[in-house]
Chain A
Amino acid sequence: MSVAPPVRLHHVGIVVPDMAQACASYVGRFGFEVLSDVIHDPTQTAYVQFLRMPGDSTYVELVAPDGPASTLANALKKGGGLNHLCYVTPDLAGSIAAMTAEKMRLIRPPTPAVAFGGRQIAWLLGRDLALVELVEQGPPGSL
């Protein structure tokens, strides 16, 4: 039996209607630091921006649909908010194999992500209907 690659929580994805307003709220209300520009990822049909609390290693990813046809449009119609958890892995294929063996379904196969400099991401759905993103581990200092 193969051993599942170790993963760690990379970010919590939160769907918001207005990126600038949400960012200002997280910074002003909780003291988050802004770690990235607003990034448009056409593959994900979304705008994203990463924030982090000083001293923490886990990010918050603010996510907004890039238009009415975005795959996130329905999530926003339902009110937005907590959308997914993303785990970083040193072995994307190995993590996918381990998670699908645990009855998670691969709903979007590995694809390069603009927000991560072209590193691959994949999406899975668990039996608890929790949406999970996996991202390949990057070099030190990368998002």
Chain B
Amino acid sequence: MADVRERLIECFLSVFPSLERDAVVVASVDATEAWDSLANFSLVTVIEEEFDLQIPSDDLEQLTSFASVEAYLASR
């Protein structure tokens, strides 16, 4: 699980390089200015690559924070 979290943090940092590592775990659409729609698609694409999975477009609207993405991955 810790490994998943570290890999997920790296995914976030690759899309949001201006975030401090400590700030990644509390990142959210509302709190992260750079998290726009394109960044969201980029993040999903990076996560799909990292975790070798496909995330259906219908699931994207629930991925609005680091915590929600982490929970989503745990459910897959």
How many chain B residues have a CB neighbour from A under 8 Å?
A: 14
Inter-chain CB contacts under 8 Å: number = 33
Most chain A C-beta atoms within 10 Å of own C-beta, residue among B33, B41, B46, B57: B41
Interface residues of A in 87-127 (CB under 8 A from B): 105-107, 125-127
Q: What's the Cα separation between A73 and B49 when bound, in Å? A: 27
Q: Which applies to chain B's interface (DSSP): helix, strand, loop or mixed? A: helix
The 8 Å CB contact of B42, one of A73, A77, A106, A129, is A129
Q: What does the 1/0 interface line of A115-143 toward B look like (CB < 8 Å)?
A: 00000000001110101000000000000
Q: What does the 1/0 interface line of A41-85 toward B look like (CB < 8 Å)?
A: 000000000000000000000000000000101110110000000
Chain B residues within an 8 Å CB radius of A75: 38
B38 A74 Cβ-Cβ under 8 A: yes
Contact size class for A?
A: 10 to 19
Known contacts A105-B57, A107-B41; A74/B46 CB under 8 A: no
B interface list, Cβ under 8 A from A = 33-34, 36-39, 41-42, 44-46, 48-49, 57
Given contacts A74-B38, A129-B45, 4 further A-B contacts (CB under 8 A): A77-B34, A78-B34, A127-B49, A129-B42
